[in-house]
């Protein structure tokens, strides 16, 4: 029996919040924590959990810095993350192309 195309989807990315994070970072390259939180309508704790998951997989890098004496958390897409997201999109495209045309 042949594997279904969805088997190839990256389980780390294939989650609504993480897909949103990866999509934003793919376009912007980097984004501040608060920007991601507002755009994706996530709580601090929820966003932190998802960022930690992506960081553990080395898809993103998190940098902490101070701007005008205020702490800022900057999230950056890594090369590994760029490759993983591109592969994820290719797999989605294969699924879409496999849908019979009516």
39-59 pLDDT, tens digit each: 999 999 999 999 999 999 999
Taking 80 as the threshold, does the pLDDT of residue 89 lie above it? yes
Question: CA of 96: how far to CAs of 13, 15, 88, 100, in Å?
Answer: 18, 18, 13, 9
Averaged pLDDT, 55-83: 94
Q: What's the confidence (pLDDT) of residue 6?
A: 74
Please state, rounded to an integer, the average pLDDT across all residues of the chain.
92
- pLDDT at position 74 is 96
Q: Options 1.10.287.130, 3.30.365.10, 1.10.10.10, 3.40.50.970; which CATH number does 5-95 get? A: 1.10.10.10
How much is the pLDDT for 65? Answer: 86
Are the C-beta atoms of 20 and 39 separated by less than 8 Å? yes
Answer whether residue 2 shows pLDDT above 70: no
Question: Hey, how many other C-beta atoms are within 10 angstroms of the C-beta on 77?
Answer: 23
Report which of residues 67 and 43 the model is more confident about. 43
């Amino acid at each position: 029996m042949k594997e279904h195309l969805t088997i190839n989807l990256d389980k780390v990315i294939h989650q609504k919040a993480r897909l949103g994070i990866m999509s934003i970072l793919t376009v912007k390259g980097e984004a501040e924590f608060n920007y991601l939180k507002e755009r994706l309508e996530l709580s601090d704790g929820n966003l932190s959990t998802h960022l930690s998951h992506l960081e553990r997989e080395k898809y993103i890098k998190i940098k902490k810095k101070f701007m005008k004496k205020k702490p800022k958390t900057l999230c950056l897409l890594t090369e590994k993350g760029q490759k993983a997201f591109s592969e994820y999109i290719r797999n989605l495209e294969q699924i879409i192309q496999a849908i019979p045309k009516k």
